[in-house]
Structure 1
Amino acid sequence: MKKLMAFLGVLTVVISTFIYFRYQAYKEKKDKEQLIFEQYYNIEGLEAKAYGQKLAVYDGDLRIIDLGTKKEIKVIEIPGKVVLGFDIFEDKIIWADLRNENDEENKKDLMEKANSDIFLYDMGKDEMKQITSDKAAQTKPVIWGKYIAWQDNRDDELEDGYPQWNIYLYDMESGSETRITKERGIHTDCKIYDGKVVWEDGRNFYGLQSIRLKSDVPINNTDIYMYIIEQDRYVSIASGMYKESNADIWEDYIVWEGRQELNRNADVMLYDIKSMETKDITKDPYGQKDPAVSDELMVWIDEKNGLESFDCIEKEKNGKSDLGIYDMKNGEMILIEEEGAQILCSVTPEYIVYTSKKDAKNSEIKVKRYYRTRIE
Structure 2
Amino acid sequence: MKNREDRYLIGLASIALVFILFISTSPVVLAFSLHNNRLTLNETPITTNNSDEACPSIYADRVVWQDLRNGKNWDIYMYNLSTQEETRITNNNFDHRCPAIYGDRIVWEDICNGYQNADIRMYNLTTSAETQVTANMSGQYSPDIYGDRIVWEDTRNGGGWDKEGNRAGNWDIYLYDLSTSIEYQITTNESMQDAPALYENRIVWQDSRNGNLDIYMYDLSTFRETQITTDPAAQHSPAIYGDRIIWTDERNGKADIYMYNLSTSTESQITTSGSVEYGPVIYRDRIVWVDYRKGWENLDIYLYDLSTSTETQITTNESNQWGELDIWKDRILWRDQRNGNNDIYMCIVSGENTGSEIELEIRSEVNPKPEEGESTSKSIPGFEIVYDIVGLFGMFLYRRK
Query: Which TM bucket (shorter chain)?
Result: 0.7 to 0.9
1:33 is displaced (CA, Å) by 7.5
**What is the rounded CA distance, in whole Å, between the counterparts of 1:41 and 1:90 in structure 2?**
22
Alignment match, 2:42 = 38
Q: Encode CA deviations 1:316-345: one digit per residue, 9 max, x unaligned.
A: xxx211112101121101123222111122
| Compared CA separation, residues 374 and 96, structure 1 to 2 (3 A) | closer
Q: Which runs of 5+ in 1 are unaligned?
A: 1-13, 102-110, 206-220, 308-318
* Correspondences of 1:100-179 after superposition (within 5 Å): 100-101=113-114, 111=115, 114-156=116-158, 162-179=168-185
2:104 corresponds in structure 1 to: 91
Counterpart position of 1:51: 59
Residue of structure 2 in register with 1:357 after alignment: 337
1:66 aligned residue: 80
Pairing 1:318-329 to 2, within 5 Å after superposition = 319-329=297-307
2:303 alignment partner, SS class: strand
Q: Secondary structure at the match of 1:79?
A: coil
Name the amino acid aligned to 1:62. I
Are the equivalent residues in 1 in contact too, given 2:55–2:99 (CA < 8 A)? no
Q: If you compute each CA radius of gyration, which structure gives the higher value, 1 or 2?
A: 2
Helix, strand or coil at the partner of 1:254: strand
> 2:45·2:343 contact (CA, 8 Å) conserved in 1?
no
Instruction: Give the stretch that moved more between structures: 62-71 or 290-299.
Output: 62-71
Q: CA deviation at 1:38?
A: 0.7
Q: Any idea what the Cα deviations from partners look like across 1:45-98, whole Å, max 9, x if unmatched?
A: 2231101111112102111111123222x3112534423422100000000111
In the other structure, the counterpart of 1:330 is 308
Correspondence for 1:215: none
Q: What residue in structure 2 maps to residue 211 of structure 1?
A: none
Mapped partners of 2:63, 2:161: distance in 1: 39
Determine the C-alpha separation between the residues in 1 that align with 2:343 and 2:268: 33
Q: CA RMSD in A?
A: 2.7
Q: 1:184, CA displacement in angstroms? A: 1.4
C-alpha change, 1:370 and 1:181, in structure 2 (3 Å) is same
Identity score, percent = 24
TM-score, with structure 1 as normaliser = 0.77
Question: What's the CA shift for 1:350?
Answer: 2.1
Q: Which residue number in structure 2 is paired with residue 203 of structure 1? A: 209
Q: Structure 2 residue aligned with 1:346, among 302, 305, 326?
A: 326
> Conserved in 2, the CA contact under 8 Å of 1:78 and 1:97?
no
* Ranges of 4+ aligned residues in structure 1 off by more than 6 Å: 157-160
1:283 and 2:272 correspond: yes
Aligned to 1:82: 95
Describe the shift of the 1:372–1:119 C-alpha distance in structure 2 as closer, same or farther (beyond 3 A): same
Note the C-alpha offset of 1:136: 0.7
Distance 2:181 2:349 in 1: 38
The residue aligned with 1:370 is 349
Query: For residues 277-300 of structure 1, what are the alpha-carbon distances to aligned partners after superposition, in whole Å with 9 as ceiling and x for unaligned?
Result: 111111343110101111121000
| Structure 2 spans left out of the alignment, 5+ residues | 1-23, 68-73, 355-401
Q: Offset at 1:370?
A: 1.3
**Partner Cα separation in structure 2 for residue 354 and residue 166 of structure 1:** 28
Greater alpha carbon shift after TM alignment, 169-178 vs 350-359: 350-359
Indicate the residue corresponding to 2:13 in structure 1: none
Higher normalized contact order (CA 8 Å, seq sep 6+, divided by chain length): 2
Q: How many residues align?
A: 314
Write the distance in 1 (CA, Å) between the matches of 2:102 and 2:230: 30
Residues 158, 150 of structure 1: CA spacing in aligned structure 2 closer, same or farther, 3 A cutoff?
closer
Match of 1:106 in 2: none
